[in-house]
């Protein structure tokens, strides 16, 4: 009688270790330092954060300012445009998160992280923390350019700070969207292509560059619920004075909703991605 063939059971998949809050914060801090050192070693990675706000502000003020505010009234357009552009800076930074994650997987960096006994979410949260730091630098440069060409704060410094913090909260939520996109698409170019298809209509169907009062009714209705339009309106009213409650609550609702949906999906995708 031949011996029965015994098949060894397949090994159970490794589970993510249980890590407490203190350990998680320690891992995030270490990964933030690692990402910051990467920027220090590759300062060219800051070019988009440094140059984009300068180019966008000067180009839109002096190319479109006369058409929107009237010839010779570019100075008045500065106080309209610069707060609105604070919304677009966050978009550019958020998009770079998705392409960066995609490139890190292509180079095998993320595979190394996933072999370490750390929470998977800490890798993604550290990425967002560093990108928020880049956003702070970019926003400071944009405001500096704005002040140089005539931006005036008609409320207070605290109102300006509130506008900046609101923009950062919304940008951080968008970063989860682009992380998920970066984990889903095959190439960084595909991430950029899909991102532009979504972001271009959101940017221009808003009050960032011009008032929505001249838009067709259907487009104006879309702009009323567009989070970028509400962020631009809130930032503008924080700086120039005006009601902010509705726009702020709309932006916060969008930020919480986007994060609640996309953050768990991004972490799950990160665990399973091969």
How does DSSP classify residue 45?
G
Q: Reply yes or no on whether the pLDDT at 61 is more than 90.
A: no
* Total-model pTM: 0.83
- Band (111; pLDDT cuts 50, 70, 90): low
Q: Give CA–CA dist 221/207, Å, rounded.
A: 12
Q: Give CA–CA dist 102/192, Å, rounded.
A: 11
Q: Give CA–CA dist 6/50, Å, rounded.
A: 64
For residues 182 and 98, the answer to whether their CB atoms sit within 8 Å is yes
Sign of CA dihedral 238, 244, 250, 256: positive
| Measured torsion, CA atoms of residues 155, 158, 164, 170, in degrees rounded to the nearest 10 | -100
Query: What range defines the domain where residue 64 resides?
Result: 44-272
Q: Give CA–CA dist 142/218, Å, rounded.
A: 32
Question: Considering only CA atoms, which of 30, 195, 49, 78 is closest in space to residue 136?
Answer: 49
User: To which residue do tokens 């700086």 refer?
Assistant: 239
For residues 103 and 186, the answer to whether their CB atoms sit within 8 Å is no
**Within a domain: residue 260?**
yes
**Within a domain: residue 220?**
yes
**Within a domain: residue 148?**
yes
The CA-atom distances, in angstroms, between 2 and each of 5, 7, 105, 212 are 9, 15, 49, 83
Beta-carbon contacts of 32 under 8 Å, excluding residues fewer than 6 positions away, are 126, 129, 130
Q: Reply yes or no on whether the pLDDT at 132 is more than 70.
A: yes
Q: Reply yes or no on whether the pLDDT at 254 is more than 90.
A: yes
Element (H, E) at 94: helix 74-107
Q: Reply yes or no on whether the pLDDT at 232 is more than 90.
A: yes
- What is residue 198's predicted lDDT score, i.e. its pLDDT? 83
Q: Give CA–CA dist 45/97, Å, rounded.
A: 12
**Within a domain: residue 238?**
yes
Backbone φ, ψ for residue 211 (5° rounding): -60, 150
User: Residues for the chain: how many in total?
Assistant: 274
For residues 207 and 127, the answer to whether their CB atoms sit within 8 Å is no
**Tens-digit pLDDT profile for residues 145-170:** 999 998 999 999 999 999 999 999 99
**Domain count within the chain:** 1
**Within a domain: residue 161?**
yes
- Band (4; pLDDT cuts 50, 70, 90): very low
Q: What is the CA radius of gyration of the chain?
A: 22
- What is residue 160's predicted lDDT score, i.e. its pLDDT? 94
**Within a domain: residue 9?**
no
- Band (172; pLDDT cuts 50, 70, 90): very high
Q: Reply yes or no on whether the pLDDT at 134 is more than 80.
A: yes
For residues 182 and 102, the answer to whether their CB atoms sit within 8 Å is yes
């Amino acid at each position: 009688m031949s011996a029965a063939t015994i098949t060894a059971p397949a090994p159970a998949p490794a589970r993510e270790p249980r890590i407490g809050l203190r350990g998680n914060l320690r891992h995030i801090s270490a990964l933030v330092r690692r990402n910051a050192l990467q920027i220090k070693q590759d300062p060219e990675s800051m070019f988009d954060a440094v140059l984009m706000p300068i180019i966008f502000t000067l180009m839109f003020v002096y190319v479109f300012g006369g058409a929107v505010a009237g010839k010779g009234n570019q100075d008045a357009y500065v106080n309209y445009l610069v707060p609105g552009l604070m919304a677009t800076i966050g978009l550019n930074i958020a998009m770079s998160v998705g392409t960066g994650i995609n490139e890190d997987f292509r180079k095998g960096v993320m595979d190394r992280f996933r072999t370490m006994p750390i929470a998977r979410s800490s890798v993604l949260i550290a990425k967002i923390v560093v990108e928020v730091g880049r956003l702070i630098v970019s926003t400071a440069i944009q405001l500096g350019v704005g002040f140089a060409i005539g931006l005036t704060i008609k409320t207070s410094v605290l109102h300006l700070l509130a506008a900046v913090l609101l923009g950062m909260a919304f940008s951080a939520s968008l970063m989860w969207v682009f992380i998920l996109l970066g984990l889903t698409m095959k190439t960084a170019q595909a991430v950029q292509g899909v991102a532009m298809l979504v972001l271009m209509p959101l940017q221009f169907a808003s009050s960032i560059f011009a008032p929505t009062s001249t838009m067709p009714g259907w487009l104006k209705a879309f702009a009323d619920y567009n989070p970028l339009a509400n962020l631009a309106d809130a930032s503008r009213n924080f700086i120039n004075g005006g009601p902010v409650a509705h726009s702020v609550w709309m932006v916060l609702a969008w930020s919480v909703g986007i994060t609640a949906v996309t953050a768990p999906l991004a972490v799950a995708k990160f665990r399973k991605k091969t």
